[in-house]
Amino acid sequence: MTTRLYIFFMAIAVAAAQTPVAPTPQTAGERLGENVSNYNIVNNFETGYRFHEVGGNLAQYRSSINYGNGIRLLGSSLSINSRDGHGALFDQLVMATQGLGGDPYAAATLHLEKNRLYRYDLSWRQNDYFNPGLVTGGGSGQHLLDTVYRMQDHDFTLFPQSNLSFFLGMSASSQTGPSLSSIQLFDSKSPIVPLFSDVRRVWREYRVGNEFRVAGIRVNWMRGWEDFKDDTGATLLAATPPLTAFRSSDPYHGTSPYWRAALFTDRKVLNVNGRFTYTSGRRAFVVDESSAGKVAAGPENRQVTTFGNADRPVATGNLNVSITPGSQLTLVNSTSVYNIRTLGNSYFSQLDNVTGAVTFLNYNYLGIRTVANSTDLNYRISPMWDLFAGYQYTDRKIHSLEQTDFAGQTFATRSEQTNVLHAGDLGLRFKPWKPVTVRVSAELGRADRPFTPKADKDYHVLNGQFQYKTKKIQLMAAAKADYNVNSISLTSYSSQSRTYSVTGSWTPGAWLTLDGGFTRLHLYTIGGIRYFLNQQPAPAQDSVYLSNINTGYFGARFALKNRADLYLGYTRVQDVGDGRDTAQGPGFGSPLAIFQGVQTFPMAYQSPVARISVQIHKKLRWNAGYQYYGYRQDFSLGQSFRAHTGFTSLSLSF
Amino acid sequence: MRFVALCVVLLAAGASSFAQAPANGYVGPAACRTCHPNQWATFYKNPHFKSVASGKEPPERTGCESCHGPGQRHVEQHGGKSTIVAFSEATPERVLDTCLRCHSQTLSRANIRRSSHTQNGVVCTNCHLIHNPTAPRRLLAKMQATLCYDCHPDVRAQFSMPFKHRVDEGFMNCTDCHNPHGAFAPTWRMAAQPRMTAQAKGNEEPCLNCHADKRGPFVFEHAAVRVDGCGNCHVPHGSTNSRMLKRPVVFTLCLECHNGAGNFGRQANGVFPLAATHNLADPRYQNCTACHVRIHGSNADATFLR
């Protein structure tokens, strides 16, 4: 019975997500594991060969998919539990890995726990982060990255279940690998020259904290230290007129120690919790750049040196008060404060044999203070009807100072502005029948002075959702509309997004699961633009962007008793644009061809997948799968790719 | 006198009827095991087994009855969902109250009662399967992303895009950026929505947990990044556009703000417009970040050129 239930739930879980074809969700070995001494052990290891073949744009493939060839430990899991809760060193050990041995997305987690004494969690992740850069007018863009992100987190808790517990933690991440950047020297008419960089970034955080209980209030504090180092420099990839030589070194190091304190309670009638943080970040930097080239006036040699430091103290606070006078009503008032000040100075010195020497000192300050207060009400009208409503007031003040000391003179620009937002929301939840839930909600906001022309100003959001959920059938339909109008003096920015989704899954038994869904994401934005064309201004025009993205998926899983599993799936994403056949017009807004050519961006991305898993022995399964990826951009040549990927593997348990 | 006599009679009758109702006491997990052997067989792997292993917890906080309530009546009446706390029949409030008796003692769940999930009737047992979890940790009913996609199909669609954070690939989880148990209000932005966004340590945007190189501080901040956040230019889940930008071509994205239109920016006289040298007919000026390489912030140049 337990096994049948497990397979049933696994069936739902497997069919409801179309993840990459490997690792295989089915595991080898006894689900209940084996008893060894006072412990129970469950384990599964899947190892095999992954292959791929790519046609078309390899860089785009590496950016979107990036699976390669080779032998991998595709996935593994190990759990060891003490059977009486009194293990010698630990009571629970859970370890899982994925993609070790060369997959672009690799991860490992470890959880170790001894009841009442300690808990330790480790997470390690690696991402081969490849990005071919932004695309302009069909050509490859700049800023290619072929780097690796590595991240790890360690968290140790002493006495995790007591009223006095202690925390120790460490996190680290790094980004390393080659990249391409670009620079334009010596004037704005010069060509843009590619630069090579060896990316070297390291971030580390150490933290220590404690939680205790006093008079029914839990107090949680943490002290942390963050360090960041970026030692990425740049050199010239190849001599490209006008540049014949270039070298830049710009180390950027600093630390951000922080305090965090929180108080919270969980009482039925009156509940108060708060969180307060203070972070004092500081970074020091040096830029040492030398370049040589030849311009119309003759050979030019330039040396640029910049150094200084930047500070950012951040103080934040949250305070929530909840009142639940009865079982039907909950009132919550939340206040949040955010005070951030970024200030720094940068000494700039340039020596140039053509233009001479220039030195100046910059001092910049940007302060943001935001205070928000919201009140939310939840009222249960009847077992069938719930009502919720809320109002929020936000006040933001931005201070700024931009100052330059040059040739004994000081040029400074000070500014200060405020922005107030009033927002309210209202919603209903209706549950006429146990499996059925209907939710509708609306939010309306009015801001008096947003910071940018496309920030939320006069906006409203409408949400609706219908859900039917039983053990065997799940159906859902959802709709969301988000409209924002930000009137400006130039023209007006307007964005409309509407999302419609329908999904469903059916699991008649452990032998079959079907699921599928369709989502339409509609986005229509108009932004006021002003630009220059051959030194002549082109005033007050519109930039239009229209996207109609249809996303559909279907999955079917068949199981032959406990012997074999077959999964078939298909996902398709297609932006149908505005229906035009070619990039150039007929468009809207700006008459300039380059704007009309980017108003819509039709593309298609599809991925059928098939996977089979056969049990050879109780402790051994054979798995194989194939997944195709097809990516096509209609208006941008040379970006499309098609890829055949697959694997074959053995899952074993010992 | 007659009134007092009446009260005495009524009280006696009430006491008598109360006495006739079966008393409901605690029977201990051994009794539950008799009829529910499957649940018990693997219960030692369940985090809730700690209460049994401890041997020091009072009956109302031990094993099955710590969640399902006293079981004596259930035993005496040979089962039935009405004689015990059955979570399949319980209201969301009842489920939440029961779980929070023990699980409120964590900062990450401090806001669960005011979270959007609770507001919409989504409580613990909607995501956690106590007796037959699929995921090895945290008793999740399904693998995390799949679980979230059930109610957020539009998010699932975004993660199906060609440019996305690697959630489906298993590199990331939804909880890297969101707190499904309810987060404190995001302090770094104007509106309190969305409420489920987790914060980085200093109450900053969760993006900065991984993208530490974008955090700064920089002498020359790109003010829009600091004031309105990463979502100004990027779609965090996934997009059809490279680098998850909101627009497929970068200059259209920049020009939406950098048009000099009045009333915006630091000085309220518009966001820094294009200089006349930027001839947009020339492809060189159509990819702004080719020159403005430090677009997230710079220490050496006010216009992010180096």
pLDDT tens track for A566-595? 999 999 999 998 888 887 766 677 888 888
The residue type found at B95 is V
CA atoms of B93 and B111, how far apart (whole Å):
15
Q: Is the pLDDT of residue A29 over 70?
A: yes
Domains of chain B by residue range: 217-223+238-298
Please give the Cα distance from B88 to B244 (Å, whole number): 41
**What's the distance, CA A591 to chain centroid?**
36
Query: What is the C-alpha separation between A308 and B58, in angstroms, rounded?
Result: 62
Is residue B18 pLDDT above 60, yes or no? no
What token pair was written down for A272? 């108060």
- Cα atoms in the 13 Å half-sphere on the side-chain side of A200: 13
Q: Is the pLDDT of residue A159 over 80?
A: yes
pTM of the model: 0.90
For residues B29 and B44, give the distance between their C-alpha atoms in angstroms, rounded to a whole number: 12
Q: Is residue A528 over pLDDT 90?
A: no
Confidence of residue A99 (pLDDT cuts 50, 70, 90): very high
Closest partner residue to B53 (CB to CB) among A115, A322, A533 is A115
In terms of average pLDDT, the best of A239-253, A619-633, B194-208 is: A619-633
Query: What pLDDT score was predicted for residue A265?
Result: 84
Tens of pLDDT, residues A399-426: 999 999 998 899 999 999 899 999 999 9
The ipTM of this complex is 0.91
Average pLDDT value for residue range B97-103:
88
- A9-23, A579-593, B56-70, B131-145: which range is least confident on average? A9-23
Task: Specify the residue for token string 């070995």.
Answer: A29
Tokens of A66: 């990036």
Residue B239 CB neighbours (<10 A): 21
State mean pLDDT over B133-153.
86
pLDDT value at residue A41? 94
Out of A13, A60, A503, name the one closest to residue B143 (CB): A13
A397 touches chain B (CB under 8 A): no
All residues of chain B having their beta carbon less than 8 Å from the beta carbon of residue A489 are 261-263
Whether A1 has a pLDDT exceeding 50, the answer reads: no
What is each CA distance from B281 to A149, A536, A538, in whole angstroms? 38, 11, 11
Q: Looking at this protein, which amino acid is placed at residue B200?
A: A
CB atoms within 10 A of CB A430: 14
Task: For chain A, say whether B86 makes contact (Cβ under 8 Å).
Answer: no
Nearest to A276 by CA among A215, A320, A311: A320
Q: How confident is the model at residue A375 (pLDDT cuts 50, 70, 90)?
A: very high
Inform me whether the pLDDT recorded for A297 exceeds 90.
no
Higher local confidence (pLDDT), A153 or A353: A153
The region of weakest confidence among A66-70, A306-310, A489-493 is: A489-493
Share of chain B above pLDDT 70, in %: 91
Task: Decide which of A89 and A185 is more confident.
Answer: A89
> What is the band of B167 on the pLDDT scale with cuts at 50, 70, 90?
very high
* pLDDT given at position A581: 81
DSSP lists the bridge partners of residue A499 as A480, A521
Pairing label, strands B220-221, B297-298: antiparallel
Q: Which residues in chain B (11-30) have CB-CB distances under 8 A to chain A?
A: none
Q: Which amino acid, one-letter code, is at A554?
A: F
Q: Are A299 and A293 in contact (CB under 8 A)?
A: yes
Shortest Cα distance, chain B CAs vs residue A86, angstroms: 7
Asked if the peptide bond before residue B37 counts as cis, ω within 30 degrees of 0, the response is no
High-pLDDT (> 90) share of chain A, %: 64
| Comparison of pLDDT for B135 and A628, the residue scoring more | A628
The pLDDT value given to residue B193: 65
B162, closest residue in chain A (CA to CA) = A64
Q: Which residues pair with A492 in a beta bridge?
A: A487
When the pLDDT of each residue in chain B is averaged and rounded to a whole number, the result is 84
CB pairs under 8 A between A and B: 492
Comparing CA positions, the residue from A145, A151, A229 lying closest to residue B176 is: A151
Question: What is the Cα–Cα distance from A49 to A395, expressed in whole angstroms?
Answer: 57
* DSSP symbol at A191: P
Query: What pLDDT score was predicted for residue B132?
Result: 82
Give the confidence band of B297 by pLDDT, cuts at 50, 70, 90: very high
Residues 247-286 on B with a CB inside 8 Å of A are 247-252, 255-257, 259-268, 271, 273-281, 283-284, 286
Q: So what's the pLDDT on residue A74?
A: 95
Residue B234 Cα distances to A262, B227, B240, angstroms:
31, 15, 11
CA A13 to mean position of chain CA atoms:
23
Compute the distance between CA of residue A156 and CA of residue A208 in angstroms, rounded to an integer.
10
Q: Which of B146, B187, B249 sits opposite A598 (nearest CB)?
A: B249
DSSP helix/strand/coil, A7:
helix
Give me the pLDDT at residue B110, please: 81
Across the interface, whether the CB atoms of A489 and B284 are under 8 A apart is answered: no
Q: How confident is the model at residue B146 (pLDDT cuts 50, 70, 90)?
A: confident
A189: tokens are 């008419």
Residue A12 confidence (pLDDT) above 70? no
pLDDT tens readout for residues A301-311: 999 999 999 99
Token pair 């059916």 is at which residue?
A506
- Min Cα distance A89 → chain B (Å) is 15
Question: What's the mean pLDDT in A430-450?
Answer: 92
Which residues of chain A are within 8 Å of residue B291 when distances are taken between CB atoms? 182-184, 192
Place of tokens 């539950």: B32
Token pair recorded at residue A51: 């292959």
Tokens describing residue A592: 């300039």
Higher pLDDT residue, A645 or A270? Answer: A645
Least confident of A201-215, A565-579, B185-199, B290-304: B185-199
In this predicted structure, the answer to whether residue B263 has a pLDDT above a threshold of 70 is yes
From residue A148, how far is each of A19, A128, A175, A250, A611 by CA, in Å? Answer: 22, 5, 5, 21, 29
Chain centre to alpha carbon of residue A345: 32
**Confidence at residue A187, expressed as pLDDT on a 0 to 100 scale:** 75
Q: Confidence band (pLDDT; 50, 70, 90) for A134? A: low
What number of residues does chain B have?
306
Measured CA to CA, the distance from residue B141 to residue A13 in angstroms comes to 8
Adjacent-strand bridge partners of A112:
A93, A120
> Given a cut of 70, is residue B1 above it in pLDDT?
no
- Model confidence at A6: pLDDT above 70: no
Question: Which residues does chain A have within 8 Å of residue B225's beta carbon, measured at their own beta carbons?
Answer: none
* Backbone CA torsion sign across A452, A456, A459, A461: positive
Q: How high is the pLDDT of residue B23? A: 64
